Amino acid sequence: MQDQDNLENKVSPQTTDTHYLQNQLLIAMPGLEDPYFKQSVTLICQHSEHGCFGITINKPIPVTVDEVLKQLKLDAEDESSIEHNHPENKNFALGKPALRGGPVQAEQGFIIHDSNQQWSNTFSIDENLSVTASQDILVDIAAGNGPENYLLTLGCASWEAGQMEAEILNNSWLNCPADKKIIFNMPFEERWQGAADTLGVNLSAMSNISGHD
């Protein structure tokens, strides 16, 4: 994970009047074989006429939150101390996995969370969901004072203007409204089909062949 200045160069606090697919879950179609996105579910954090920025939410990596904190010298309290000092924060757990957020800037950290609290570089996806890319939120997580629900991801995904729309037309993706239960509570291995279930779609029964010429 990089230092705070580098963490801040991806998430922009700017908002746009047109949100396109912002706050949608992007579901990879069965025929998408890209190794970064195969059977992926990606939260679209920002989408405008200039392009699209998202974070994949179902690809755990063999790195835990506490290992990231130790790497940054933000050592977490031991679990019993957290439970004693911060009993309201049930979601902090040593051993909680970090996720591969996408192929872009793979060492940069992003935290998806449900608190409306603002850290030094927080972008609101909607009134109940945000992404933060500054180290101060990790300081609070280490102290047991972070958001109740969060995902720590390394890397992100981005698309140029018009690229995402073209990929959807080429049958690479489905999309559905973001669901906090999927983002924070559903087991990672169930999220791909779980997101499709909100559309009534059985991905295993779908053809891998595009329906467009």
Strands 122-126 and 150-160: unpaired
**DSSP states of 4-73:** HHHHTTS------S--TTTTEEEEE-TT---TTTTT-EEEEEEEETTEEEEEE-S-EEEEEHHHHHHHTT
**Residue ranges of domains in the chain:** 4-205
In this prediction, residue 11 has a pLDDT band, given cuts at 50, 70 and 90, of very low
User: The dihedral of CA 143, 144, 147, 152: what is its sign?
Assistant: positive
Token couple for 143: 């102290």
Q: Write the pLDDT tens digit of every residue in 172-209.
A: 999 999 999 999 999 999 999 999 999 999 998 886 55
Q: Write the pLDDT tens digit of every residue in 142-152.
A: 888 889 899 99
Provide the pLDDT for residue 101.
Answer: 96
Note whether 77 and 85 are within 8 A (CB): yes
Q: Tell whether the model's pLDDT for residue 115 goes beyond 50.
A: yes
Provide the pLDDT for residue 84.
Answer: 46
Q: Write the pLDDT tens digit of every residue in 130-140.
A: 999 999 999 99
Q: Which residue has the tokens 């049930």?
A: 90
Q: How far apart are CA 97 and CA 88, in angstroms?
A: 21
How is domain 4-205 classified at the architecture level of CATH?
3-Layer(aba) Sandwich (3.40)
Provide the pLDDT for residue 159.
Answer: 96
